[in-house]
Amino acid sequence: MSALLSVRDLSVDFTTYGQTHQVLHSVSLDVPAHAQIALVGESGSGKTVTMKAIMGLLRQPPAHIRSGQIIYDGRDLLTLADSERVALRGTAMSMVFQDPMSSLNPVFTIADQMSTILKYADRRLGRSRSARDRMVRVHEVLSQVRMRDPERVSASYPIMLSGGMRQRVLIAMALLSEPALLIADEPGTALDVTTQAQILRLLKDLVTQRGLALLMITHNLGVVRETSSYVYVMNRGRVVEQAETATLFSSPQSDYTKSLIAAVPRLTGGTHYGTVMP
Amino acid sequence: MEFLSFLVKRVLWSVLVLVGLSMVIFVIARVVPGDPARMALGPRASPEQVATMQAELGLDRPLLQQYALFIEGLTRGDLGKSLLTERPVNDDIRETFAATFELVLCTMILAMGFGVPLGMIAAYWKDKWPDTAVRFFAIFAAVTPSFFLALLLQILAGYVLHLLPTTGRLPNALEFEASWTGLLLIDSLLAGRLDVFGEALRHLLLPSLSLAAATMGQMARLTRASMIDVSRQDYIEAARAFGIPEWLRVTKYMLRPSFVPPLTIMGLEFASLIGGAFVVEMVFAWPGMAAYGIRTILQKDLNAVMGVVMVSGVFFVLVNLTIDVLVGFVDPRVRIRGRR
C-alpha cells in the first residue's frame, strides 16, 4: 500500500544576507495512512523546515525548494497552485502547534477563532453550515479533547485558560474538519511534564480512535517511544536513520542515534552525559 | 471586575489631578507680571480707577481667599466674567469649545481614517515600494509644522484654486443658529439644513487637514510598527496553517491586537489638540477655544484663563477615560487583568 504522505528527496535552501545554505539534503520519509510516525532531531536538524514544507508554510524567499516531491494522496503538492495548496490546509492535513501560550490569538474568544477556522474549512470543502451549527461542532470537538465545560471554554479568551487547556484547544482546532493527517510540532513542550504526558496520551487516543495518520515532530526520545511505531532520525538536514521504534531503541545503527539515546537522562545506572556530535 | 476598579481608581486620581491643576494654574496666573485691571482699563486710567476695578475683581484680597471664591464659583458651575469679552466665561467657553471640539474631532477622524490604513499598507508590503512611499509621506507629514501646512493649504486651495473657504466656520451670509450641540455638522442635520451641513464641512476641511497631518503620520508609523510586530507572532502563523484567508488575517487577526498603541496615542493627541490647536485656529480665523485661551492669557483675563484650563483639563481626563474603556474593549487582556 502506498503512503498517505510521501516526501521524496526533498532539498531546501535558505538565503539570508546574500548567503545560501542548504538546510535539507534529500530528505525522504513516508507516513502511511493510520500510522504513527515520529521525526526526531535536535534544534536546527531540519525537522521544522520539513514540517513547514509539507504544510506549505515555508516563506519563499528566503526558503527555496531546490528539488524533491511531497506526495499527498497521490498528488505532488509542490506542483499544485497556491489555492489548491491552501485548500488542503486544516482539511486534509492539520497542524497541532507547539506553544499553547503564543499560538492562540489573544484578542478573540476561542469560539470566534474556532468557528472562523471551521467556516473557511467548510468553504474550501464546498460545504456550508449556519453559525449555530458551527458552534455545535465547536462544542463537540472541544468535548472530544476532554474539555469538561465546552460552553464556558469557548466563551473564554485564551488568557482565561491554563496552558494545558490552551493546548487542548489547539488540538481541537486541528481536528475541526476531520483531517486524515495530523502533524504535531512538539505539542506540550511548553507545558509541565505531567500536563505534557496528558496531552500526548490524549493525542494518541484521538489518533487511534479516528484512524488518523500522525507525524510527530519532536526532539524528545521519550515522546518518540510513547507516540510512534516508526521513527526517522534527522541530523544536520539529513535523515540519518529510520527504523521501527522498538528496533531503534534496542539496536540503534548510526552513531548519532546512539549518542541521542545515551543523552536521555536515566534514573538508574549512574550519570550519562552523552557526547556532543559534531 | 478588576477592570472596573481600575477605572474607578482612574477617575479618583483624575479628580485629584484636576484639583492640583486648578491650584497650579491659579497661582501661576497671578504670579506672572502684569495687572489685569490695568490691562483692561488701558494705560490712561487713573490709579483710583485701577484700584476700584481691582477691588471689584477681588484682586485686593489674600490669594487663599481668591482661590476659595474661585472654587466656590466652580462648584456652582460659574466661571465668572471675562474682562476681554465682558461676557460670562461660561458663554464664551460654550461657544468656542464647540467650535474647537468639532475641528479636533474632524481632525482625529482624518488622522485615524488615513493613518491606520496607510500603516496597514506599509506593514503588508514591508520593504516594498508602498512601504517606502508611506514612510516617506509619514515622516514628511509628521515634521511639517501645522501652521506652515495651514498657510500652504490656504494659499493653494483657497486663493489659487478657489476650491475651499479659508476662514471661519460658515459664510457670513448664511443664517444658522447651532442651538442643540453647538456642532454645526450635527445641528445642521438635526435642523434638516443640508446647505449648512455642506458649507460647514467645506469650512472644516482645510483647518482639520492642517491639524491632522502630523497625527496621521504618527498613526501610520505606529500602526506599521505594531502590525509588523504582531505579524511575527505564532498565532498569525497558526491562523495561516489553519487556512484563514490572508485578507482576514490582516484585517482582523493582525489589526485588532495591533490597535492598542495607535488608539492610546490618538487619545493623547485628541486631548492635547483641544488646547493646542490655537495656531491653526488663528490662521483660519476659527472661533475656537484654543485661540480664545491664547487671547485671554495675553490679556491676563484671569477668569477666562482659569475656565479654559479647567475645561481642557476635564476634557483631557474624559478622553483618556474613554480611551481606557476602548482599549479594554479592543484587548480583553486589559479588561481581564486590569492591565496589559
ipTM for this prediction = 0.84
**How close A88 comes to chain B (CA, Å)?**
8
Q: Is the pLDDT of residue A276 over 70?
A: no
B237 contacts in A (CB within 8 Å)? 57
For the record, the C-alpha cell of A235 comes out as 541530523
Region B237-259: what's the mean pLDDT? 88
| String of DSSP letters for B16-82 | HHHHHHHHHHHHHHHHSS--HHHHHH-TTS-HHHHHHHHHHHTTTS-HHHHHHHHHHHHHTT---B-
Q: What is the pLDDT of residues B175-206, one digit of tens each?
A: 777 777 778 888 888 888 888 888 888 889 99
Let me know if residue A276 belongs to a domain: no
Strand partners, A243: A231
CB contact under 8 A, B257 and A105: yes
Measured distance CA(B96)–CA(B77) in Å, rounded: 17
Query: Would you say residue A274 lies in a domain?
Result: no
Whether B242 has its CB under 8 Å from any CB of chain A: the answer is: yes
Averaged pLDDT score across all residues of chain A: 83
For A124, which of B234, B240, B243 is closest by C-beta distance?
Answer: B243
pLDDT at B110 over 90: yes
Helix ranges (H only) for A4-100 are 47-55, 82-88
Rounded Cα distance, B174 and B187, in Å: 14
In a domain, A268, yes or no: no
What is the domain extent for residue A84? 5-262
Cβ contacts (< 8 Å) between A160 and chain B: which residues?
336
Which chain B residues touch A108 with a CB distance below 8 Å?
Answer: 253, 256
CATH code for position A107? 3.40.50.300
**A229 domain-assigned:** yes
pLDDT at position B136, please?
93
The distance from CA B272 to its chain's CA centroid, rounded to whole angstroms, is 5
Mean pLDDT on A134-146: 88
Domain regions of chain B by residue span = 91-302
B248 shares contact with chain A (CB less than 8 Å):
yes
Of the pLDDT bands very low, low, confident and very high (cuts 50, 70, 90), residue B225 is very high
DSSP 8-class letter at A253? -
**Residue A227: pLDDT over 60:** yes
**CATH number for the domain formed by residue range(s) B91-302:** 1.10.3720.10
Torsions phi, psi for B231 (to 5 deg): -65, -20
Phi-psi region of A11 (alpha: psi -120 to 50; beta: other; left: phi over 0): beta
Grid cell for residue B303: 477668569
B235 touches chain A (CB under 8 A): yes
Instruction: Please check whether residue A271 lies inside any domain of the structure.
Output: no
- Copy the grid coordinates of residue B9: 481608581
Give the mean model confidence (pLDDT) for residues A56-61: 80
Cis-peptide into A278, omega within 30 deg:
no
**Across the interface, which of A102, A116, A159 has its CB nearest the CB of B233?**
A102
In chain A, the residue whose alpha carbon lies closest to the alpha carbon of B331 is: A107
Residue B254 contacts A, CB cutoff 8 Å: no
Asked if omega into A100 is within 30° of 0 (cis), the reply is: no
Interface check for B337 against chain A (CB to CB < 8 A): the answer is yes
Residue B171: other Cβ atoms inside 10 A: 13
pLDDT of residue A177: 83
Q: Which of A99, A116, A160 sits opposite B234 (nearest CB)?
A: A99
pLDDT tens digit sequence for A69-98:
888 888 888 887 777 888 888 788 888 888
Task: Give the chain B residue whose CA is nearest to the CA of A55.
Answer: B241
Give every CB contact of residue B331 below 8 A, 6+ residues apart in sequence. Answer: A106, A107, B256, B257, B259, B260, B340
A259 CB neighbour count, 10 Å cutoff: 15
Chain A interface includes B2 (CB < 8 A): no
Domain count of the fold of chain A: 1
